[in-house]
Amino acid sequence: MAWAAVDPADEASWLRYIAQAEELCQTARTKSADTAFRYLERFRDAELKALGVTAEPLAVGAPGLSVPGELEGALSSYGPGYVNRLVANGVPLEEAKRLAMSGQIGDATGYVLRSGRKVVADGINRDRRCIGWRRVCSGAACSFCAMLASRGAIYKTEATARGSRGASLSVHGKGTAKGGEVHRACQCHMEPVYSHRSRPTPQERHYDAVWREAGGDPIQFRRLIEGRA
């Protein structure tokens, strides 16, 4: 059932829409987790081989199924209630539904990608060979993500180099490690780091140069990232 067929005044049409969206998104979440595992496995093998290390296979925990009602909770901010509020303020119904759809896409993106992010975060946390991570942005990163990426590699802690337990990487919530934060519709991912000799990537060097050009001012940095300076 397409969003266009949902009647904001008919709760049953919204529930039918959610049921179909959950089926589609659960399939996408599974693909997200599978893709993340393959990425992590191949990237780790290539990086450790370059360091001359033959490492044991990495065991990564499955992200698990979504909680019942989780997707509806994620999309409800842009559901019928949102549409009705816009219409009550004079926005035409079709335009209100278009705006709602845009919001839903952002929330659904985060919902789907979260399972893949959990796989990578779990791999980073469990892997004793991994000493940290770096943020890799999409081609159209917002200034928040670009600022975090400009910091380069984030190490678990200095204690990691001595073999003791360091900081862990989470994908959301207050426990999120510095540099691992994500926002709704964020398309960044975390890339494992296996050596303190790891050099900044071209993307990190670019964002760092922009940060320096902005004089460390977040507002000016945003203007430069958005091409408004």
pLDDT on residue 46: 93
pLDDT on residue 166: 46
Low-confidence ranges of the chain (pLDDT < 50): 158-166, 172-176
Predicted TM-score of the model (pTM): 0.80
pLDDT on residue 71: 84
Q: Rounded CA gap, 35 and 116, in Å?
A: 7
Write out the DSSP string of 175-222.
Answer: TPPTT----TT---EEEEE--TTPPPPHHHHHHHHHHHHTTT-HHHHH
pLDDT on residue 161: 41
pLDDT on residue 217: 94
Which residues have a Cβ under 8 Å from the Cβ of 137 and sit 6 or more positions away? 145, 146, 149, 187, 188, 203, 207
Q: Rounded CA gap, 120 and 190, in Å?
A: 7
